[in-house]
Structure 1
């Protein structure tokens, strides 16, 4: 689906959100390195097959496959691979994640080794066919961020684009689960130099980038980088359309034209925190809607679930506030878990030592601008060097409007130029 077609599909329905977040994360304990893939000859099905057992070392390349990124415009000369690599979930348990690595064919002529941009896409949907790596390679066409990847390739940067956790066979995407998403983004940057034929260096400067769901993920990666991946040379993070407070976003989504994103969030958070109750709270309509959410991509999510409210899906007609009081088998409530995903708190603990760029649309109809502004204010208050820009577009259009500025901003970080703070 083209960007213009997707804009038409989404604006035909109107109003919504995505989300983000999680808790404190420490660097994994040192263990014997798991064997890396020795050649990129895996079958496509192998990329999405969960390994047994999962790798103990984050950033391990488990499987890779050379591909053509047919959904990246511009007929750009590059080498590209689908990859399956090791990561860690919010409980510190090893998991595997899928993604894509793309490296320009032209030699890097800038200072130092070729930089790597770790990229997390915005909301694509929970269906297994929606994985960014599948869409970039043309297996399913509902993708709308190929322009972002193309701009990075044209600039000469390698792109390590995670699908995010939970797109392997039989899994559920852990949509807007902060720690899981942040780990997945950092770990694909760690994995990139180990992909056979990539020519990338472990000393390369790394930039983080994401918008909407991806903006939350990239900010979580920024917050977790020092403790979880201290060996990565992260020099900057660009995050746009950030759903910083999931409760505030949910309030805007419930009963709105974009209520499908709220359904995705409930399913994704429960997948990341399985002790939380979900199925036991649902009525038949709710169970049907969950199955729909798990089977479709972005446009299908919006159209199928527009106007629905959480009370329509639950046997007790729960409001959001009542849902937040429901506790799981570990004693934690939905509200406590959602609060743990909130961005911009405990920033003294997270120690972000590199500049951050945040941006949003002036007409954002999906993420409440108040929560986007609050994250920026929290970063400034914590002393994080924070650039800030507001674009004229709505939620979807702003993603595209910002591409040139973000690539230029990342280029300045790779060149070692000082960043301007707009605090």
Structure 2
């Protein structure tokens, strides 16, 4: 089948949804026939070039490009695809820009209403711009592994809006594990999908959110932020697997392990979002080499380069994780408090509860019981926090490690999202301690 693509056809969060709708109404003037955005004819380099400033509403398409094929998406039905650079908001509520990919099956949607859209948050890819998910999907392959996830969504007939996440534009560093950055990028990718010329994605479409590992945390952050940040979106469910819901628990597990590279990336990512915190000045020679190397590596290279690395090896004074957490910035904020900012399941509640994060749709959490990267116990805590606040939560466990947990769950996650789009009843939540759900 041909996959050839068509060429044509910090202010308050409560105001952002209105601004996005207004911005979308005027972002693509019908008279601008030669406009690269209207035609989605921007150069590939323009998708990854940071704009000098971003003054448009979150979700506005700043540049887009039709993509002829996505080599990573194997076995999918015929589709059309676009790369897009879109306006977003960083974790400190400042305007930003993010890139991503919109993919829509050619076959007409056979279900009721508008074709549903799944916002996809990719798992860990590395922190350098060369690792961007959109680059890998479109053929600049490094070591991404979630092409089958996209294929499964397209086979189900769903449109896909896959964000790269913040910090993947030229000269940037991905703010790895920064929750608000991730959540905003996911939600604004949904907004942007409906504004890509020719996509056919409806701004009224039902939206499901899905991600695993880093993407699992990003999907849950999008779920927690949806009601306040993007209230106009019709989000009906979120599927999250293998998520680092507690950064301190994950860090303790990763320090000195085979997967210590993920901890190195997390330290660099959080230092990018908190430049006033002590980081560069406390590194030793090994730490400075680690930062330089991490920015040049994607996922597999990161794991290989930093296997067995301990935090003590990176700092001039051989500081432990606990000692690093105690360090504070100019305003007295400690690294411990920075890590806690991205803890999931805190301050959540049902709509109308007055909670900081109101979640009005079901949540699926899943995890491999043999996961050697993210402790399953920390995910259990998050699940129970949602459940205790009356948020409908379903849990699925697999006899798998971290990597295989993603692959094992693909069909289940897609089916679960399909049930949400079809308005099928969610099974009763089970709130209890224990790692097996």
Tell me the CA shift for residue 377 of structure 1.
1.0
- Of 403, 417, 420, 2:424 maps to 417
Deviates more, 1:135-144 or 1:200-209: 135-144
Tell me the CA shift for residue 29 of structure 1.
7.4
- Of 367, 386, 390, 1:379 maps to 386
Secondary structure at 2:38's aligned position in 1? coil
Question: Any conservation in 2 of the 1:27–1:230 contact (CA below 8 Å)?
Answer: no
Q: Distance in 1 between matches of 2:104 and 2:152?
A: 12
Q: Distance in 2 between matches of 1:71 and 1:189?
A: 21
- Of 354, 357, 360, 2:361 maps to 354
Secondary structure at 1:194's aligned position in 2? coil
Tell me the CA shift for residue 75 of structure 1.
4.9
| Corresponding position: 1:28 with 2:28 | no
Q: Distance in 2 between matches of 1:417 and 1:221?
A: 22
Q: Distance in 2 between matches of 1:41 and 1:330?
A: 46
Tell me the CA shift for residue 316 of structure 1.
1.1
Question: 1:228: which partner in 2?
Answer: 229
Unpaired stretches in structure 2, ≥5 consecutive residues:
1-11, 29-36, 350-354, 431-437
Report runs of 4+ in structure 1 exceeding 6 Å deviation.
none
Question: 1:44: which partner in 2?
Answer: 44
Question: Any conservation in 2 of the 1:118–1:208 contact (CA below 8 Å)?
Answer: yes
Question: 2:406: which partner in 1?
Answer: 399
Q: Distance in 2 between matches of 1:27 and 1:319?
A: 43
Tell me the CA shift for residue 383 of structure 1.
0.9
Question: 1:183: which partner in 2?
Answer: 184
Q: Distance in 2 between matches of 1:174 and 1:278?
A: 14
Secondary structure at 2:194's aligned position in 1? helix
Question: 1:197: which partner in 2?
Answer: 198
Secondary structure at 1:38's aligned position in 2? helix
Distance 1:335 1:26, change over 3 A: farther
Q: Distance in 2 between matches of 1:114 and 1:405?
A: 20
Q: Distance in 2 between matches of 1:157 and 1:28?
A: 26
Tell me the CA shift for residue 229 of structure 1.
0.3
CA deviations on 1:296-348 (whole Å, 9 max, x unpaired) are 00000000011111110101111101101111233311110101110111013
Q: Distance in 1 between matches of 2:72 and 2:294?
A: 24
Question: 1:54: which partner in 2?
Answer: 54
Secondary structure at 1:28's aligned position in 2? helix
Q: Distance in 2 between matches of 1:47 and 1:395?
A: 32
Question: What TM-score does the superposition give when structure 1 sets the normalisation length?
Answer: 0.92
Question: 1:277: which partner in 2?
Answer: 278
| Corresponding position: 1:135 with 2:154 | no
> How many aligned positions are there?
400
Secondary structure at 2:416's aligned position in 1? helix
Q: Distance in 2 between matches of 1:195 and 1:356?
A: 28
Tell me the CA shift for residue 141 of structure 1.
3.3
Question: Any conservation in 2 of the 1:25–1:224 contact (CA below 8 Å)?
Answer: no
Distance 1:29 1:83, change over 3 A: closer
Q: Distance in 1 between matches of 2:273 and 2:65?
A: 28
Tell me the CA shift for residue 422 of structure 1.
3.2
Question: What TM-score does the superposition give when structure 2 sets the normalisation length?
Answer: 0.89
Tell me the CA shift for residue 114 of structure 1.
0.5
Deviates more, 1:134-143 or 1:197-206: 134-143
CA deviations on 1:383-404 (whole Å, 9 max, x unpaired) are 1100000011110001011010
Question: 1:320: which partner in 2?
Answer: 321
Question: Any conservation in 1 of the 2:133–2:164 contact (CA below 8 Å)?
Answer: yes
Tell me the CA shift for residue 143 of structure 1.
1.2
Distance 1:391 1:29, change over 3 A: closer
Q: Distance in 2 between matches of 1:415 and 1:374?
A: 29
Q: Distance in 1 between matches of 2:341 and 2:271?
A: 13
Question: 2:397: which partner in 1?
Answer: 390
| Corresponding position: 1:80 with 2:81 | yes
